[in-house]
Amino acid sequence: MLTLTFLGVGSAFAKRNLHSNALVEAWTRGPQAQTKPDDTLLIDFGGTGPTALYQLKQKSGFTYLDRDGDINYPALRRLFITHLHADHIAGLEELASRNMHHFIDPHTRRGFRPKITSSPKVLDSLWQHSLGGGLSALPNHVATLADYFDVAAVHPRGQGSPDSFRLLDRYEFAPVPTDHIRIFAPFDWPSFGLLITDRSSGDSVLYSGDTRFNRDWSEGLMRPAKLIFHDVQLTDADDCVHALLSELRILPETIRSKMWLYHYGDQWDDPAYAFVADDFAGFVQPQTRYTLFA
């Protein structure tokens, strides 16, 4: 079984919801039969990520995320970083620092190093322009990303190998380039969603990451998918860097009915958006476990 739980469901600037980061859990039997999953993947960890995990670990079914009242960071085995906006990476300094200094293996005397995965460009830039500022300074040592993480780059399809990674050898995750921020041209700033495939059934789930509305996705990625988690901006704006609700609404009903919306603004419960429950699968609920593959 593969499950997905959003730590938060808000946009970058939302205040009523936390940032849209997600915990993926892989189970041999399932959460009804196990106290903790066999493997875990965190998709992004923004500025509100630590607070969100602190809340989540107090909920039934998630107590494996607690260790003596603290966040049990080593329970998060792997991270995938979609892109470098703060609502997706600003919690990583805490995660890396806690893993290195607080969760020390008595045998190796080293801290815990989770796997970190994204495209080589995102991983380079993550260290050079973000994490290195605070994490490079250690006593008698100028640290690199590899001091804190087991770095496992993955390439977009057709651009190198490997182009996917797996949990439990059954669930395959392939990065899908997204048209989010444009410096000069579409796709010139790296950002990714994920296509998640159950290799035993062939079923797939699309996780959009942050992206503008991409009409090209509807046939190849959305129509075959069992479920879709898509970012959304509720209000129309010119040259918006997220899919607008008004754009997603023109998709066929067969696609909308399996599409959960996330990364939404604080006005989601205004009666003006009541139609979302009918026209889509709905707004994703935070800190609620969704089953991707049974």
Q: How far is the CB of 243 from Zn ion (least distance, A)?
A: 12
Interior/surface letters 33-53, b for 16+ CB within 10 angstroms, e for the rest: eeeebebbbbbbbbbbbbebb
DSSP tag of 285: P
Q: Which residues would be at the binding site for Zn ion (CB under 5 A)? A: 12, 85, 87, 210
Closest CA to 145 of 84, 77, 96: 96
What Å distances lie between residue 158 and 110, 155, 161, 172, 176, CA to CA? 37, 8, 8, 16, 11
Using DSSP, state whether 3 is helix, strand or coil. strand
What is the nearest approach in angstroms of Zn ion to the Cβ of residue 91?
13
Smallest distance, Å, CB 191 to Zn ion? 7
Report how far residue 97's alpha carbon sits from residue 104's, in angstroms, rounded to the nearest whole number. Answer: 11
Residue 104's beta-bridge partner residues? 111
219 within 8 A of 183, measured Cβ to Cβ: no
Toward Zn ion, which CB reaches closer, 66 or 266?
Answer: 266
Distance of closest approach, residue 37 Cβ to Zn ion, in angstroms: 25
Q: How far is the CB of 184 from Zn ion (least distance, A)?
A: 18
Nearest distance from C-beta of residue 170 to Zn ion, angstroms: 29
Span between the terminal Cα atoms of the chain, in Å: 5
**By C-beta, is 51 or 63 nearer to Zn ion?**
51
CA geometry: angle 158, 163, 168, nearest 5 deg: 155
2 or 81: whose CB is closer to Zn ion?
Answer: 81
- When the beta carbons of 12 and 151 are compared against Zn ion, the nearer one is 12
CB of residue 82 to Zn ion, shortest distance in Å: 8
Question: Minimal distance in Å, beta carbon 200 to Zn ion?
Answer: 32
Residue 56, classed as helix, strand or coil, is: helix
- Please, are residues 157 and 121 in contact by the beta-carbon 8 Å criterion? no
Q: Pick the closer one to Zn ion by CB: 12 or 244.
A: 12
Cβ closest to Zn ion, residue 11 vs residue 197: 11
Q: What is the torsional sign of CA 73, 75, 78, 81?
A: negative
Separation between Cα atoms, residue 201 and residue 171, nearest integer Å: 10
| Residue (12 or 153) nearer to Zn ion, CB | 12
Q: Which residue's CB is nearer to Zn ion, number 198 or number 210?
A: 210
